Each structure stands twice: as structure tokens, then as C-alpha cells.
Amino acid sequence: MFSADRCSAVLAAIRERSPLVHNITNYVVMNNTANALLALGAAPAMVHAPEEVEEFVALSQALVVNIGTLSTPWIVSMERAASVAAARGTPWVLDPVGAGATALRTNTAVALAHLRPACIRGNASEILVLAGATTEKTRGVDSTRSSADALAPARELAGTTGAIVAVTGPVDYVTDGRQCVGLGNGHPLMARVTGLGCTATALVGAALAVEPDRFIAVAAGLSFLAIAGEIAAEKSPGPGSLQLHLLDALHQLDAATIARRLKIVG
């Protein structure tokens, strides 16, 4: 069962071991993602050349693949890195940004989802598309559907891929196909900062690097961001301040804060 204690134990392990998290992610969020991983206590690296991704995966404790600013040469690297990670038993996380918006995105996300990710984290629209539960066009990279709508398809997707599936939104849901947990932390202002979903995915990568129970790891990674974002938003007049306070809050996050804040909603 996910709990504040389990969540804090994952945080302590990240700080203790400082896992190397290999990211193949989009240009928009590379800087923020690296900073969020550092603030939490992990060691990020952004490496995407097809000539070196296999070698780099072998050095890493987790891999994050995010299709945000997709292009054909990067797809080669993503598939190569994911395959090596799966073969080595290194946990890897898929962020299917914009699946459903274009054929390139949908096809790439579907292909990657079948390379045994430890976790798939998306918004409701993206998860519905990956689960084959809709063929409607999504609107850019934003969800047009609520997280709850995607819950049954998320369970199914977990079943067919073997991944823990996380659907994020005002409430975040995590499922392995059987058990499910809802997480109620966060703040509406977080939606006015670009790439916080991508950051959540990266923090899930750090959690998977140290926690063998994947369900617990995914819930913990999402909770780190949602709690820090909530703390940051409460003191922010706008999204510029939120970004700054978010990194400070991740750096200062501790077991007492998690115990006081964590909102498990079923």
C-alpha cells in the first residue's frame, strides 16, 4: 500500500544513492527536468546520440523517454535505448507527449509502449489514445479529457504492456491493472508552467531507480512533484515565481512535509 512512509523511504533512497537518470527528452523541458532531478537529489544526464545511448543506458540506474519535440533521428535513439534498458532490467519510463495529435506521435508512442516500459505517464487524452480507447484528435499537447475518464483504459493498458500506468491531472491515478491509487496534491497554477508533466515523469524515473516496488515508486515520484508544486504555488503570484519555488521545495522536501501534505484520495 502506498503511504507517506513508503513515499518518504523512496525520497531517502534517492538522496542516499543519487541515481544516474538518463533522459532522452524534449528541448523545451531539458533544463527544468535536469534541475528538478538535481533538486530532488538524483544525478541527471541528457544523452540522445544513437552512437552512444546504449553505452549510456548501461551506466544509468533509470531511463526516461519523452517524445515532446519528436523527430525521426531521435526515434531511433529512443527505441534503441528503451530496448537495451528493458533487456538489462533497468527501469524506463515513457512520456507519450501529444499522442493522438499526429500520426507520427501516436505511432511512435504505441511502438515504444510495447518495449516493456516500467511506467507510462500521460494525461488522460494520451492514455486513452495509447489504450486504443479513442481515435479523436487531441488538441496539441493538452488533455481534452479528465483523468477519471481514462481510468478503465489505463488499467487495460497496464495489462497489455506490463507497465504501471499513471494518468495525471487535477487528481493523479496510478494503476498496475489491478490495484489503483488516486493522489490529490497539486495546484491549478501548475498548469500555467510548461512541462511539469514531463518533470513528473522524470521524477518517476528517479524513484524507479531506487525502489523495486514499481507501483510505490510511480506514486512516490508523482507525489514529490505534486507536493512541491502545491507548496510553491501557495506562495506564488504567478507562474514565474512558481518555477523558482518548485525547485526550492523539491530541495527542501522531507518526511515531515510528506506526512503532513500527502493526499491519498482512494
Site residues for a copy of itself per CB under 8 A: 20, 22, 26-32, 34-35, 38-39, 43-49, 51-52, 55-56, 59-60, 68-73, 98, 101-105, 137, 139-142, 191-195, 236-241, 243-252
51 or 260: CB nearest a copy of itself: 51
156 or 230: CB nearest a copy of itself: 230
Instruction: Say if CB 36 and CB 202 are below 8 A apart.
Output: yes
90 vs 175: CA distance, rounded Å: 20
Shortest separation between residue 63's beta carbon and a copy of itself, angstroms: 12
219 or 227: CB nearest a copy of itself: 227
9 or 104: CB nearest a copy of itself: 104
129 or 163: CB nearest a copy of itself: 129
Shortest separation between residue 33's beta carbon and a copy of itself, angstroms: 9
* Exposure b/e, 25-53, CB count within 10 A at least 16 = b: bbebbbebbbbbbebbbbbbebbbeeeeb
Shortest separation between residue 35's beta carbon and a copy of itself, angstroms: 5
Shortest separation between residue 120's beta carbon and a copy of itself, angstroms: 21
The residues that bridge with 93 in the sheet, in sequence order, are: 64, 119
147 vs 149: CA distance, rounded Å: 5
23 or 175: CB nearest a copy of itself: 23
Shortest separation between residue 54's beta carbon and a copy of itself, angstroms: 9
236 vs 46: CA distance, rounded Å: 29
Give the cell for residue 104: 507520427
- Best CA proximity match to 31, nearest among 204, 218, 198: 198
71 or 266: CB nearest a copy of itself: 71
Shortest separation between residue 28's beta carbon and a copy of itself, angstroms: 5
Shortest separation between residue 32's beta carbon and a copy of itself, angstroms: 7
